[in-house]
Amino acid sequence: MPDRAASRPPLDREALARASGWRFEVVAESPSTNADVAARFREGGQPGLALVAEHQTAGRGRLDRTWVTPARAALTVSFLLDPTGVPVGRWPWLPLLAGVAVVEAVRRSAPDVAAGVALKWPNDVLCADRRGDRKLAGVLLERVEAGGRAAAVVGLGLNVSQAADELPVGTATSLALEGVTVERTSLLLALGDELAARVAAWAAAGGEPDGVRSSYLPLCRTLGRQVRVQLPGQGTLEGEAVDVDRDGRLVVRTAEGERHVGAGDVVHVRQAM
């Protein structure tokens, strides 16, 4: 197979070093930027770090799943943040807020696909085209504790220039496959700006969800759908997704009444009538 990485431009480290808001560090390779950032925090690292890997070799999804991306074809980045003043009970909004930041950054950087980009609860970023909804990006939030301190690691994987044969699953897509060429450095800077501004506004409100919820709801393509939710542990739930409550939980109207779901994998079955 030809070395496609060689034909893909590297991230512009100097432009990233000049960015305000985050201390960007670019590494050639990392097994998992989330794992590396968590380790840095345990060693005394400070919030504000954004670690980016040109090639992530053992990327993690939720529930021990994997996240697979070739060198220089995607953004694989983890942000270390300390939402000071936000009670831990409000932290479930953080991955949803990160999803909103990804959608807005993609819309700014790739206006041609803006209308098709949306979220599947809790935080998959989808892109709709004539083939249906496909996964463009994923968010992995992890809480780290060390020495009496706690921080959040917000990991983002965003497919940029992969060809179809470079995607690990048929349900995935990349910006290139959606017909747009996007330069990764400016996309990453837009992502950093969106995330920093949204976290700052949310933290300034003490984690009150009203602001983030009103940004999230219009982007959430799960609402109004007939869904099947695979719950953590055992069991599934079926019904119509009708809302996301103030705790960030999906509200599903089932035959047995409304259920509020805090975690799970959602399948969009069809548009509810």
Q: Which residue has the tokens 């939710």?
A: 229
**Of positions 65, 143, 149, 246, contacts ligand BT5 by CB under 6 A:** 65
Pick the binder of ligand BT5 from 109, 159, 185, 222 (CB under 6 A).
159
Applying CB under 6 A, which of residues 22, 24, 41, 67 lies at the interface with ligand BT5?
Answer: 67
| Angle ∠(69,73,77) on CA atoms, nearest 5 | 70
Q: Is residue 101 at the binding interface for ligand BT5, with CB under 6 A as the rule?
A: no
Q: How far is the CB of 148 from ligand BT5 (least distance, A)?
A: 25
**Is position 169 an interface residue for ligand BT5 (rule: CB under 6 A)?**
yes
Scan residues 119-138 and list those touching ligand BT5 (CB under 6 A): 135, 138
Pick the closest to residue 34 from 6, 82, 4, 76 (CA basis): 76
Q: If DSSP codes are grouped into helix, strand and coil, which group holds residue 142?
A: strand
Distances (CA, A) of 138 to 46, 182, 256: 24, 18, 31
Does 154 bind ligand BT5 (CB under 6 A)? Our answer is no
* 61 touches ligand BT5 by CB under 6 A: yes
DSSP string, 171-227: TB--TTTTT----HHHHHHHHHHHHHHHHHHHHHTTT-SHHHHHHHHHHBTTTTEEE
CB of 252 to ligand BT5, least distance (A): 18
Stretch of 32-40, 93-101, 207-215, 228-236 contacting ligand BT5, by CB under 6 A: 32-40
Nearest distance, CB of residue 257 and ligand BT5, angstroms: 27
Q: Which two tokens stand for residue 78?
A: 């983890």
